[in-house]
Amino acid sequence: MKLSDIKDLLHAEVVVGQDKLDMSVKAGAASDLMSDLLTGQNNNAVLLTGLCNVQVIRTSVIAGIAAVVLVRGKQPTQEIITQAREHGLPLLSTPFTMFTSCGRLFSKKLRGVDEKISTPVHSR
């Protein structure tokens, strides 16, 4: 899914990365726990998070996250914006909640980073 599609689906404001809206993201991840992002394969995923601090940017860079979307209309501080710019990491802000944001992207076929996990028996 293109970052421009994510921007439109989430009615998001682009804080950093207006020039990168053409980029494609492979999957979606949603977490307020930075430790979780470091334990999975999150390469080229878009991260939805309610956490709004500079460690979101650093963790994303280390984990290979392609773009970050802050949920519930959170506005990043200047320090967060500077870090995102420095690392070329697109940063968006959506008025939707985490749940709604995930649902809007999932309904348009963006899948989680755990797509390869087989479907549990009980849901077949």
Residues that bind other proteins (CB under 8 A): 32-36, 38-39, 43, 51, 53-56, 58-59, 61-64, 79, 87
Q: How far is the CB of 38 from other proteins (least distance, A)?
A: 5
Q: How far is the CB of 61 from other proteins (least distance, A)?
A: 6
**Distance of alpha carbon 12 from alpha carbon 69, whole angstroms:** 8
4/33 with CB nearer other proteins: 33
Q: How far is the CB of 51 from other proteins (least distance, A)?
A: 5
